[in-house]
A = this chain, B = another copy of it.
Amino acid sequence: MLTYNLMHTGSDPLYEYLCKSIKNDIIHGTLKPGDKLPSKRVFAENLGVSVITVENAYAQLIAQGYIYSIPKRGYYIADFGSIMTEKKQSFVKEMAPLTGGDTSYFADFSSNQTSSDLFPFTIWSKVVREILSDSRVQLMKNSPCGGISALRSSIAMFLKDFRGMTVQPEQIIIGAGTEYLYGLLIQLLGREQTYAVENPGYSRLEKIYRSFRVPCAWIPLDEGGVCVSNLEDAGVDIVHVTPSHQYPTGIVMPISRRYELLGWAAREEGRYIIEDDYDSELRLSGQPIPTLQSIDLSEKVIYLNTFTKTLCSTVRISYMILPPGLLSRFYENLSFYSCTVSNFEQYTLARFIEEGKFEIHVNRLRRHYRRKRDVLLEALQKSRLGDMVSISGEKAGLHFLMTVHTDLPESAVMERAKSRGIKLAALSGYYHGERPPENVYVMHYSSIDVDRANEIMKRLYKSCT
């Protein structure tokens, strides 16, 4: 029978001392998991203390998780402690990478990481400080599910000035990244619909649909973007398009195709167009074409845009604009969700836009990227590479297409470039099922150091010949 000497308990009350003694035996393994403890009555008798003392000690041990009780059976030593620590440290670390991006290349054309130099740190920090000092009460007030009013109004204002769009702030739903908003849209539109994405296209999008287990078709493009007849053939209900600047081909969807697409959506109930305007602010040359959203009279367009391209990829703020019919459905079914962007960032961004700082920043970005693109393309044209490539889709966004006319197979070009420190992204990697073109590369140049432009072209030339 378990016994303890309760003559020298020091300043501890009896029950406390008893509790510590048992705990000590558990920790040192004298009492093992599953061992049964004496009943309160028997133990009290044996120790020469009151039943209450044992009861108190047991209660404390239960509360601390060292023992547990099974009604009508008794008290047992719990099964945890040092073994847990060992077990949990036996992890395979490599399956859980903790870093993002790869900076080991001389030039990485596969990354769209934005440069930290371009983020307006000084102004942003100033706005953050202001918000933290003058908006404390608002910062603590729960945001409506669609986002704080100030941010939605400032986005509506910006869209009017910059994009000629007329949008009510209530139509704008703020979320932590476009991927999150897709999840909301699937919940809103239903899992029974057939979704479609562009082929070639942004493969992460198809992964999202797959992850939500909704049917998703790849729709081949012609020179104007997604073809309506292909949508009809595939029985599509909801199509995702990037009309301002198709990713990755750079196709700008002509206005006639836009009307055709709207016509397709209007023909059947339940059809919708998701217009992803992901980098429209970074149009570098040419006139803008109105968004589908602004010429949509049938309430069939869901417009999506993000600040991850114009601010930085690590600020997770995107938004969607719902047409009235879907908006009421959203408020009915999904308004129980909290907004996923913290108030701190919502208020900061709202003021940043309101005070015109965002527009200044976007204009600065465009100048920067235009120069970057020009330097790269000039270096390319002047280099020996110039004669063997053709360029397209260079008017907008942060990438262009480079078609290399060479007899080398694509895999060889990529391998050779890689061995020279140049990481390329082949357009073929964006195709699904369809036979992709060979030796066309999607050149993301946002993270390229253009001081290296001439050397990059030399290395690329060597890789292609």
A contact residues vs B (CB 8 Å cutoff)? 60, 62-65, 67-71, 78-80, 83-85, 87-89, 91-93, 95-101, 113-116, 119, 121, 124-125, 128-129, 132-133, 136-137, 139-144, 146, 149, 152, 166-171, 176-177, 179-180, 183, 187, 191, 204, 207-208, 211-213, 254-256, 258-259, 286-290, 294-295, 297, 312-317, 324, 327-328, 331, 333-334, 336-345
Contact = CB atoms under 8 A, between A and B. Distances in A.
B342 A340 contact: no
Contact of A100 (B141, B254, B256): B141
Contacts of A176: 176, 180, 316, 340-342
27 contacts: A60-B287, A62-B256, A63-B288, A64-B290, A70-B256, A78-B255, A85-B166, A92-B324, A95-B170, A96-B146, A96-B171, A99-B149, A100-B142, A114-B140, A124-B132, A125-B129, A141-B314, A176-B180, A176-B316, A176-B342, A180-B180, A180-B340, A204-B336, A316-B342, A340-B340, A341-B342, A342-B345
Please tell me how many copies of the chain the complex holds: 2
A177 B289 contact: no
Contacts of A334: 211
Give 10 closest A-B pairs by Cβ, nearest first: A96-B170, A116-B140, A65-B290, A63-B287, A314-B343, A100-B142, A176-B340, A68-B255, A98-B149, A80-B295
A68 B141 contact: no
B143 A314 contact: yes
Nearest to A83: B297
B140 A119 contact: yes
A175 to B, nearest CB: 8
Contact of A140 (B71, B99, B115, B339): B115
A62 B71 CA distance: 80
Contacts of A295: 65, 78-80, 84
A336 B100 contact: no
B121 A132 contact: yes
Contacts of A297: 79-80, 83-84, 87
A297 B183 CA distance: 33
A402 to B, nearest CB: 24
A177 B92 CA distance: 27
A136 B96 CA distance: 25
A125 B121 contact: no
A84 B168 CA distance: 12
A136 B116 contact: yes
A65 B98 contact: no
Nearest to A334: B211
A173 to B, nearest CB: 10
A100 B78 CA distance: 46
Given A62-B255, A63-B287, A132 B125 contact: yes
Contacts of A133: 125
Contacts of A212: 187
Contacts of A171: 91, 96
A242 to B, nearest CB: 17
B314 A140 contact: yes
A344 B208 CA distance: 25
